[in-house]
């Protein structure tokens, strides 16, 4: 495996045919012998694309996204425009589940759990089960959260979508914001 350093730290997996077409120069630090093998390059900064509207087997909305962001931050791979554990939905989930923020982040950093392992940890902290009513209240709060007019207008403008009043929920707006960031950083 050969590491290739590219501009902003966003990297790709290249097949041998593509390696043969790589230009020489400082941007291409692949050794010559790599041109005959697969070049695997590690992405250094990720835009989180798991939506706040996604739940794992426990049924808790946003928990998979919080796991992804906190895990990426713990390994130094989270895009700098995103907090690993912010004060909005992230804190709503921690509060809704009755989890200590610092303990949660320490667990993510020290154990680097898979998502399923994280859910197991949550269950262990909660005595083996979650209060279904509390989860429903949390999920309703996530689905029902509405951004202020300025935030909504900024996200829609950045995404190139008119503000026609049809997208008001924060989950939907945040999805548009993530997808636009992904486009700007990776596809553009």
Q: What is the chain's mean pLDDT, rounded?
A: 84
Give per-residue burial for 145-182: e unless 16+ CB within 10 Å, then b.
Answer: bebeeeebeebbeebeeeeeeebebbbbbbbbbbebbb
* pLDDT tens digit sequence for 131-161: 999 999 999 999 999 999 999 999 999 999 9
pTM of the model: 0.78
Q: What is the pLDDT of residue 44?
A: 83
Q: Which residue has the higher pLDDT, 27 or 49?
A: 49
Q: Which residue has the higher pLDDT, 17 or 139?
A: 139
Whole-number Å distance between alpha carbons of 155 and 162: 10
CA dihedral 45, 49, 52, 55 (to 10 degrees): -110
pLDDT of residue 127 exceeding 60: yes
Instruction: Kindly list the domain boundaries of the chain, sorted by start residue.
Output: 1-44, 63-187
Q: What is the pLDDT of residue 14?
A: 35
pLDDT of residue 11 exceeding 60: no
CB within 8 A of 121, min separation 6: which ones? 107, 111, 113
Percentage with pLDDT > 70 across the chain: 77
């Amino acid at each position: 495996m050969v590491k290739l350093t590219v501009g902003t730290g966003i990297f790709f997996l290249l097949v041998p045919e593509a390696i043969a077409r790589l230009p020489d120069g400082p941007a291409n630090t692949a050794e010559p012998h790599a041109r005959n093998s697969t070049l695997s390059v590690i992405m250094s900064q990720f835009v989180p694309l798991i939506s706040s509207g996604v739940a794992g087997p426990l049924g808790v909305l946003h928990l998979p996204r919080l796991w992804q962001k906190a895990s990426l931050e713990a390994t130094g791979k989270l895009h700098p425009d995103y907090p690993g554990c912010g004060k909005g939905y992230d804190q709503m989930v921690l509060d809704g589940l009755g989890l200590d923020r610092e303990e949660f982040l320490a667990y993510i950093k020290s154990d680097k759990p898979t998502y399923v392992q994280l859910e197991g940890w949550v269950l262990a902290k909660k005595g083996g089960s979650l209060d279904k009513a509390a989860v429903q209240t949390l999920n309703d709060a996530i689905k029902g959260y509405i951004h202020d007019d300025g935030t909504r207008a900024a996200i829609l403008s950045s995404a190139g979508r008119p503000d026609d009043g049809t997208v008001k929920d924060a989950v939907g707006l945040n999805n548009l914001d993530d997808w636009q960031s992904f486009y700007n950083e990776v596809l553009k």
